[in-house]
Amino acid sequence: MTLFQAGEPAPDFKLPASSGDDVSLSDYRGRNVVIYFYPKDMTTACAQQSCDFRDANAEMLRNNTVILGISTDTVKSHLRFIEKKELPFLLLADTEHKVCDRYGVWQLKKLYGREYMGLVRSTFLIDTEGKLVQEWRKVRVKGHAEQVLEAVKNLQAASTVS
């Protein structure tokens, strides 16, 4: 599988969302999109990451950017997670990990000597034309949302200059 590069179109997709609708990346043309892939609803690190993005959401929106979270959990699980953590953005259910595969985040992982396939925490910044601007793979949660917000602000500043 070949991963896409900065400046190339991000793979489009259609997934069931916590809103009850099917959502495509192309639905957001004209807006920047932060897509964050996370392993599991309700786990400590994923909750922290989602809450960090929740706290940055208003500033993201001011910078013409929407946040979409994707995991392999079900929409039902996402709805509980959203309610518990008061998340203001959509979570998308990739239960068959097809989008995860396309973005190269469904990978072989190791834990306590055991190997298994799983989702590697990763974030992608997509511009208003649907092209990849920046990616963060194997994300460490602490400070990550701030890094992404800084990249969003830089992208928005560059687009208002040109």
Residue 125 CA to residue 142 CA, distance in Å, equals 18
Q: What is the residue-wise DSSP string for 36-93? A: EE-S-TT-HHHHHHHHHHHHHHHHHHHTTEEEEEEESS-HHHHHHHHHHHT--SEEEE
Containing H/E element for 152? helix 144-161
Structure tokens at 101: 């595969």
User: Among the options 17, 33, 35, 46, which is catalytic?
Assistant: 46
> What distance in Å separates the CA atoms of residue 140 and residue 155, rounded to the nearest whole number?
22
70 CB burial (10 A radius; 0-12, 13-18, 19+): buried
Q: What is the dihedral of CA 50, 83, 18, 155, to 10 degrees?
A: -30
Active site residue 46: yes
**Residues with catalytic function:** 46
